[in-house]
Structure formats: C-alpha cells, structure tokens
Structure 1
C-alpha cells in the first residue's frame, strides 16, 4: 500500500473543513450535476470557469473586493447597521467589534454565491441571485451624519459590482499560476457583467480599463472609514493578518492605496512578498484539488450544450417584497 503523503493529509483536512463549515451549510439546494447539457450562466470555455476554478485565489479576491468596497462610507454604515459581520449588543446596536461567527457566515454565503453562479445550473444561479437581491431590498437606513443609504441604489450597485470584479480579477492576475492577460482577461470582465445584471446593476464596465475608470469616478465620495482603519497597517498586530492586509492593499488602484496609507515597497521586496503569498495560495489550492462543483459542471456539459450560456432573466422592479426574517430563512 502506498504511503499517505503530508500534502494529501493536509488536503483531506482542508476539504473536510470546507465540507463541514461551508458546503454543508451554504450549498444546500444547489445543482451542479444536472440538468445534462445546461451550460449555466457561463459554460465550458468561459473565462469565469477558468478564474473561479482556483478557489483559494478567488476567496482572496473577495477579501480584496470587500476592503475596497468599504471605502464608501455608506457601505461601512450598511455593514454596521445590517451585517452579520459586526457584533451587536443586547439592544441590537453595533459595538464596532467584528463577530467571528458572523464573519464565517458571510464568508460561507459569498463563496457559495460565486461558486454557484459560476458552475451551477441556470436554475441554481437564478435562485442565488434572487436571494441576494431580496437581502439588498431590506438594507435601507440613515448614516449618523444624516445621509440615507439604500442597497438598491443604482450608484451603489455599480460601485459594489466594480469592486467585486476588480478584486477577483486582480487577485487572479497576480496569484493564479496561469493567469489570463490582455483580451482574455477582458473576456472575464465582460462575462462577469451577467452577475451584476442579475443583482439589478446597470451601466456596468465591461473591461479592465473601464472598471478602473468606474472605480476612480467614485473617489470624491470615498474615504478611510473606521472599518478599514482598524484593519490597516499598524493597527493589525497578528503576523498572519498583517501579511494578508499587505497583500490586499497591494491589489488596490494607486489612488485607493493612498487612502489606506499603502506605498509599494521597492521592486525586489515586492516580488519577494508576492512570491510568498503566491506560494501560500497555490499550496492551498494544490492540497485541496479541483472543486467537486467544477468537476460536476464539466461532466454536466461533456456531451455539449445547446447554447454557449444562459442569461439572467431578472427585470428591475419585479421582485416580491420580503422582510429580512423571511429572506434569512431562505438563505439558511
């Protein structure tokens, strides 16, 4: 009998944790193996299938997106008032401290959404989008400075979309072992628009250059929020968190990096730091192997598809009104 190697043990442990903490709780009801021939929103040969197949880099990209997104003060207060990420006191008021359990729930939902919409059946992708839209419909309020916020605001949806696609695509460019470049990377940006449209966003950028331009256009309304400040630079004392903090800020557009007091080190040090992060992310991916959802999706379309992909069917304003409790029961 062949010996079990250390990386195989690590892979088994990582996959078991992923199964227990994420798949079991957040992948319920998703269909990846059927219907046969259903391409889903992207399908074989798509840039999205290639980018999202590297699970560890995609998850890191989502961290980059979240950090960039919080430069909008309204996003920060949406999180303080409505998100599971923030600890609440007995009266339901945000304490300003992060809630580890809430972070785990948010991560689980995010990973499930971006794997499910990438590789799931058309029906699975549609259901996931309906659930996220329903949650957005409940997020409305007023910031302490008197300005209102609304997660259905087209301007917010565009900013949210641009930060997500930038975070995932930039993490892919830097840390994927076979990254897309140039026109192939722009194909990812153009394909991913389907996700933004499914969530109700309009007038979205479709290339890397357009996305950078879109992000920078929001600069007059952005700032270093308290949420980003406490997770930045000298405020981060744990060595692992500090390494992640550096890598996240290193993916930001230059003007955004200035807001969070990041200046790239010299070229040699930057390459060394990126190499260390590259090695860690790719070691995690190698240990875990190909996601079973990706394997199932490829088998689903192995005999071919009738169309290259399907498209989201959402029409603005057609969702039924549901309260937050009902939505969370759907997400459970």
Structure 2
C-alpha cells in the first residue's frame, strides 16, 4: 500500500493515534522486534487480517456476535438484507488498522489507550445465540481463541507473501512478543509459540461449524460483490485469503481445491502483487523509527538514518 493511498484512512482514523512522539519511546515492542518487522509490510498484514476475520466466522459465538452487533451488515428496519454496508465496512477497516498499527508501532501510551478502547467495546457486546447459548466479547477464553486466530493469520501471511519472511527462531520471537497483545485485551493462557497457537486452533475444531452468519459474513471479498472491472483482482485475493487457512478450515468453508500447478501460479501472481509494496513505506512506520531514534521526523516524510525496508 503506497503512502498516498493510505491517506484517507489516516485522516479519518488516525487523528488521535500519534507515532512521532515522545522521543525515545519504543512502545511495547521496538524497532528490533519481530512484531515491527512483520507489521512494516502493510500489504501482507492486510491479507493476514482478512484471513483471521474469515476464519473467526467459524466459531458460532464469534459468528453470531459479529452478525448481531456489526454495522457492516446492511439492515432495513433492523432486518439484515444479506448485503454489506460499504461505508460501515470501510469504517471497520480503518478502525482495525488504527488499532493494530497503534499497538504494534505506537508509543506505550498509544498502545495502552487503543487497547483500553477495544476492551471497553468488548465489555458492551454480549447476547444470546438462537440456540440459547450466551456469548460475551469479553470472555477470556473466547479472547484467547480470537488472539490465536490473529497471531496465526499474521504469521501465515507473512511466511507466504513477505518479500523476506522470518523463519525458525526469528518467527518464534513474533509469537512470544505478540502474546502481550492478547494478554492486554483480556485473554488468559495465551500461547506464546507457533506450535501452541496451531494446537489451540486444532483443539477448537469440535466447537466450530458453518452457521448462517458464517455464510453472510464470510465473503466481503467475494468478486460478485464488486464492479466487473475489479472482479479478477478480488477473485484472486478471495482465494489467496482462503488458501492460507488450515485444511480443516478450507473443508468447512468449501474452499476450491486446485491442482498444485494452478495453486503455484496463483500464489506466484499474488506474491508478485503483494511484494511490490515496499516495507515501511507508510509515514507511521517512518515516524515510529524516528521516535525511537530520538530524531525529528522531517516534513518530507524522509527520515535520515532510519531503516525503512
């Protein structure tokens, strides 16, 4: 994502999220962290967030919670139409990026503030599924599962599509560091390794399934929802996101299973598109490096002596 294309999100959703001060504050993770390295490549982060959002619809609590409380689903007289409210969807995307980049790159006060905001939102979201099962967004066990989907998805997108992905022990650093995000949001017994995250998701399989909200919420990227001229790109991204999922999730979602040569071609095309986005190109990343280095952020957006890729 080029910095210019990020501007509408920045103007609307980053008004109170500052990355350029106070000087010397590394935030929760800092420039040498695996968390910073992963989040600097915004294009792969967005693929990861989409993959997490999609797989979360397989948990009935998450599915009904989203269906009954999100503004992204268009409603007429309170009744869902099966369509998405595009303005609300854009708002959700902006708030999501504001939160994740604020936690990853922001100074400590910003990371704490955006986390408090999300916790307060969780405290207000509760209800009862049609089968009589109650749900609460602040349930620590549900938050643990939600955290695991997010950590898994960000790492999976990074491994497959980042230009220079972390491997082995360096990738394990990401899981150890990022556990703080889950803990700060109220999750308990947060896994701190790739194997732990994978195991938690695998153990949750008996709880999962395709419910009606899954069908309604699963496909904001579905090509038929978009103008004809952009459908080829959306069709590719729709498959790319599902292709990241574990096979059990792909079976539940009925993800198209192509022959390996076709998969390799589609992944290569997606990799070429996503890797065309330079690491650290957006202003907030540059400001964060400058903040920690204690040097002023220049008005041109260029920061001397700060790694931006």
Q: Fold-level match, TM-score > 0.5?
A: yes
2:292 maps to 1:292: no
1:41 is matched with 28
Alignment of 1:135-214 (within 5 A): 135-214=121-200
The answer (yes or no) to whether the contact 2:161–2:271 under 8 Å persists in 1 is yes
2:233 is matched with 240
CA distance in 2, matches of 1:197, 1:115: 17
The answer (yes or no) to whether the contact 1:80–1:96 under 8 Å persists in 2 is no
2:73 is matched with 86
The answer (yes or no) to whether the contact 2:17–2:102 under 8 Å persists in 1 is yes
CA distance in 1, matches of 2:141, 2:209: 17
CA distance in 1, matches of 2:257, 2:37: 29
1:253 is matched with 246
2:67 maps to 1:74: no
Shift of 1:262: 2.7
Q: Helix, strand or coil for the counterpart of 2:74?
A: strand
1:15 is matched with 3
The answer (yes or no) to whether the contact 2:157–2:244 under 8 Å persists in 1 is yes
- TM-score norm. by structure 1 comes to 0.81
RMSD (Å) for aligned C-alpha atoms: 1.9
The answer (yes or no) to whether the contact 2:6–2:282 under 8 Å persists in 1 is no
Unaligned runs of 5+ in 2: 225-230, 296-309
Deviations 1:154-196 (A, max 9, x none): 2210111011111111000000000011111111111111111
Number of matched pairs: 286
1:112 is matched with 98
Shift of 1:48: 0.5
CA distance in 1, matches of 2:232, 2:10: 29
2:303 is matched with none
2:272 is matched with 279
Shift of 1:250: 0.8
Unaligned runs of 5+ in 1: 1-10, 305-332
Deviations 1:134-166 (A, max 9, x none): 111111001112111110112210111011111
Q: Helix, strand or coil for the counterpart of 2:200?
A: helix
The answer (yes or no) to whether the contact 2:158–2:165 under 8 Å persists in 1 is yes
TM-aligned CA distance change 1:156 to 1:277, over 3 Å = same
CA distance in 2, matches of 1:228, 1:81: 12
Shift of 1:301: 1.5
CA distance in 1, matches of 2:152, 2:212: 22
- TM-score norm. by structure 2 comes to 0.87
Shift of 1:93: 3.6
Shift of 1:34: 1.3
CA distance in 2, matches of 1:263, 1:242: 12
Shift of 1:289: 6.1
Q: Helix, strand or coil for the counterpart of 1:16?
A: coil
Runs of 4+ aligned residues of structure 1 deviating over 6 Å after TM superposition are: none
CA distance in 2, matches of 1:177, 1:199: 30
Q: Helix, strand or coil for the counterpart of 2:90?
A: helix
CA distance in 2, matches of 1:25, 1:210: 37
2:292 maps to 1:301: yes
The answer (yes or no) to whether the contact 2:22–2:291 under 8 Å persists in 1 is yes
CA distance in 1, matches of 2:162, 2:235: 21
Deviations 1:296-330 (A, max 9, x none): 111112259xxxxxxxxxxxxxxxxxxxxxxxxxx
The answer (yes or no) to whether the contact 2:149–2:201 under 8 Å persists in 1 is yes
| Corresponding residue to 1:26 among 5, 10, 13 | 13
1:63 is matched with 50
2:107 maps to 1:121: yes
